[in-house]
Amino acid sequence: MINRFCSGLLVGLLGLIVTPRVLAENTMYQPLPISSGQEIDDILSDADIPTGEGGFARDYLVNLQEGDQVAIDLLSDDFDSMVVLLATDGSTVSENDDGPDGSTNSLLFVRITETDKYIVRVRAFGEAGGGSFSLKVTRLQPIEE
């Protein structure tokens, strides 16, 4: 009888009862940290976050300050890239599909109006695509005269 009762529960080190749902909620969504000037080489795959449009996305967490001017550069030879900057409430701050050079790489310039944590979302444009990519977030410094 005890085995049947405990089959859906885990007992933690402190004797607390933890359901599998509680464990999943704590480990399910954890965007990877990225800082200004850091370049990340990664892979977008079907193991990432489903977009609901047939594709997948990979998220990165960055701390930005009010007044920051930021460039987000996303390069890939494997897929038509799209970069999206999201506020913590999930709203889109800005996005870019194709860079100014006419390629399918993405380059996003944005001025930050509120100090907070933001999500940089990497995804393929359209329904499918994935592969290797390079992501860089840069705080732009004004030219001093």
Chain-wide mean pLDDT for the chain? 80
Q: How far apart are CA 42 and CA 135, in angstroms?
A: 8
Pairing state of beta strands 116-124 and 56-64?
antiparallel
For the chain, domains (ranges, CATH) are 30-139 (2.60.120.380)
Per DSSP, the residues of 78-96 read SS-EEEEEE-TTS-EEEEE
**pLDDT tens for residues 65-92?**
999 999 999 999 999 899 999 998 889 9
pTM value > 0.85: no
Per DSSP, the residues of 6-39 read HTT-EE-TTS-EE-HHHHHHHHS--PEE--TT-E
**pLDDT tens for residues 118-134?**
999 999 887 667 899 99
**pLDDT over threshold 50, residue 7:** no
